[in-house]
Amino acid sequence: MHSDTTHIGWRRDQQQLAYLFHAQSVFGEYEFLMHRSRLASLQKQTPRLGLELRAVKQFVSVPAIKLHTPRNPDEFPVPAGMEPCLGLLAQFHRLRSSGGAASGDALAIGKELQIPPQHLDQLEVYFLFKCGRSGQDYLFYLHTCKAELQLLQSNPAEPLTRYMPPYASEEWHEDSRAWTGVVLCTANLQRAGMLFGDRGYRVCFLEAGRMTEQLRLCAEQSDGVTATHVAVFYDRAIHSLLGIDGVTEVCTSSLILTASR
């Protein structure tokens, strides 16, 4: 073996970088530059092995709803009855983007570990909307950096009891108080552990509580929708819906949105 041979632990390296360059990270906008730089580095290494490396560009987009900018008629249409919920999420995103993202406890831990406030991760936020007109459930992902709701899937409507026990959800089955959506917050415990060490678990749930309170307060200032925190839900059903494993990434909080009377 030659001493100048370069070894790249590609899989492990990609996993390490994924903790920094994810959608909710302040580094997310540099993901494209990072991949381009890595590709250029590989292109310099492969000729030494007698190989040729070519880049194949593939662009994948998902239907999305912008939170703040005027919507284009060609974009994904807002499902009927979702406007009040969209206003709530837009207000929540504005609050999170204006510096209210991290709690005092998280900032204190970040300061002790010498992590700048802007490098503290945000939790992931999903929104399940029940469209009564179409009879469909729409699952969206709140992309903080792009300020948009990205459509992940749409399926025939399911009863709320699929995700929560009857005693926690039966109130919202009354005709006069029908639920319109559920906001779900998830935390990547493995990623938080890399950033905060043993305190990562604590930071995740501190942030979950803070985000839940922010959503509830935003609902009080919104028209046409109210938010109620429900701490009881079926883990496996929620994790299956969101496509997370329930080990490294878990659901930490849920709020039921209902139409205001």
- Domain holding 36, by residue range, is 1-60
More confident residue, 22 or 163: 163
Same domain assignment for residues 45 and 102: no
Domain final position from 17, 42, 60 = 60
Same domain assignment for residues 84 and 182: yes
- Residue 142: pLDDT over 70: yes
13-55 pLDDT tens trace: 555 555 555 555 555 556 666 667 767 777 777 777 777 766 6
Q: What is the 3-state secondary structure (H, E, C) of the chain?
A: CCCCCCCCCHHHHHHHHHCCCCCCCCCHHHHHHHHHHHHHHHHHHHHHHCCCCCCCCCCCCCCEEECCCCCCCCCCCCCCCCHHHHHHHHHHHHHHHCCCCCCHHHHHHHHHCCCCHHHCCCCEEEEEEEECCCCEEEEEEEECCCCEEEEEEEEECCCHHHCCCHHHHHHHHCHHHCEEEEEEEEEEHHHHHHHHHHHHHHHHHHHHHHHHHHHHHHHHCCCCEEEEECCCCCHHHHHHHHCCCCCCEEEEEEEEEEECC
User: Dihedral of the CA atoms 96, 87, 147, 156 (nearest 10)?
Assistant: 120
| Closest C-alpha to 253, from 224, 212, 200 | 212
Total number of domains constituting the chain: 2
Same domain assignment for residues 76 and 204: yes
Same domain assignment for residues 1 and 45: yes
Same domain assignment for residues 114 and 181: yes
Q: 252 is written with which tokens?
A: 């930490």
C-beta atoms surrounding 97 within 10 Å: 15
Name the pLDDT band for 10 (thresholds 50, 70, 90): very low
Same domain assignment for residues 31 and 51: yes
Same domain assignment for residues 85 and 207: yes
- Residue 120: pLDDT over 70: no
Name the pLDDT band for 68 (thresholds 50, 70, 90): confident
Query: Per-residue pLDDT averaged across 75-89, rounded?
Result: 90
174-222 pLDDT tens trace: 443 478 899 999 998 888 887 777 888 888 888 888 889 889 889 888 8
Same domain assignment for residues 84 and 184: yes
CATH number of the structural domain spanning residue 132: 3.40.109.10
Same domain assignment for residues 69 and 188: yes
- Residue 241: pLDDT over 70: yes
pTM of the model: 0.76
Same domain assignment for residues 96 and 224: yes
Domain final position from 60, 79, 99 = 60
Residue 200: its pLDDT value, please?
83
Give the amino acid at 106: A
Query: Per-residue pLDDT averaged across 82-88, rounded?
Result: 92
Same domain assignment for residues 174 and 215: yes
Same domain assignment for residues 39 and 55: yes
